[in-house]
Amino acid sequence: MNALDERGYRENIQKLVFSLLDKEVNNFISQKGLHKYLNGNLDKIINKNLNSLMGNERVYLRVLKRSSEQLRINSVAKIIKNEKILREKKELIEFARYLKINISNKSSYTQVLKKVTKYIYQNRQNYSNKYVFYKRGEQEYILKPHLIKDEILKDYKQKTKNDILSVAKTLNVEVDENLKTEEIRKEIIKSIVKEKIKRK
C-alpha cells in the first residue's frame, strides 16, 4: 500500500468512482453534472459507508484487501493469523461463513485456516478490484467503490427527478410523478410546444 495522506486517499476513491460511473451512466444523465454532484457529496457518502460497517466486517475487509496484494498463499495465511480475533476457531469459522465457504464446526482450526486461505488466495484478484484502502487520521478503513457509485447514482437520479418535477410545477404542467425523469422532461417540452402553437 502506498503512503498517502488523507487527501490522496480521497482523490483515489474519487477517481475510481468516476471511472465506475462513466461506464454505467446513459445519455440521459449529464456526466458533468454527475461529477459535480459526486465532488460535493463524496465525503457524506464515505462517512455513511464507514458507519455502515458492522461488527467484525472491518477486520474481514482489511484481511481481504491486504491478501489481494500477496503473491504467495503463505502470506495470506499470515495476514489472517495477524488479526487477533481470527486466531480463535469460532471467529475464523464466522469469517468463513461471511465468505460463504462451507465449513463444519468439527473442523480443526488448521483445517479451517487452510480452506479460508486457499479460497481468499484463489479470489484475490476479485478482492483487489472490489475494495480500496482509505485512511482518516490514524485510522485505516476499507471502502467498496461500487457501493459508493450505486449510492451516488441513486441520489443523483432522485435529485434530477426532483429538479424536473419542480420545473413542471413552476410551469403548471401536470405530470405523473411515477414517470422516469426523461419522460417527465419530454412531457414538459411537449406542453411548451403546445402552448407556443396555441399562441400563433
What does the pLDDT read at residue 171?
86
Q: What are phi and psi of 141, to 5 degrees?
A: -130, 170
pLDDT at residue 17, as a whole number: 87
Reported pTM: 0.72
Mean pLDDT (whole number) for 155-183 = 88
Domain ranges of the chain: 6-54+145-199, 69-130
How far is it, in rounded angstroms, from Cα 147 to Cα 34? 16
pLDDT of residue 7: 77
Choose between 121 and 191: higher pLDDT.
121
First to last CA, the chain: 68
pLDDT at site 185? 86
pLDDT at 200: 64
What is residue 60's predicted lDDT score, i.e. its pLDDT? Answer: 94
> pLDDT by residue (tens digit) across 107-152?
999 999 999 999 999 999 999 888 888 887 777 788 888 888 898 8
The winner for highest mean pLDDT among 42-46, 91-95, 133-137 is 91-95
On the question of pLDDT at 187 being above 90, the answer is no
Rg (CA), the chain: 24
Can you give the pLDDT at residue 194? 81
> How many whole angstroms separate alpha carbon 8 and alpha carbon 112?
37
> Phi-psi region for residue 172, left (φ > 0), alpha (ψ -120 to 50) or beta?
left
Q: How many other β-carbons are positioned within 10 Å of the β-carbon of residue 46?
A: 20
Asked if pLDDT for residue 27 goes beyond 60, the answer is no
DSSP label at residue 134: E
What mean pLDDT do residues 11-39 have?
A: 78
User: 161: which 3 cell numbers?
Assistant: 427527478
How does the average pLDDT of the chain come out, rounded? 86
4 band by pLDDT with thresholds 50, 70 and 90: low
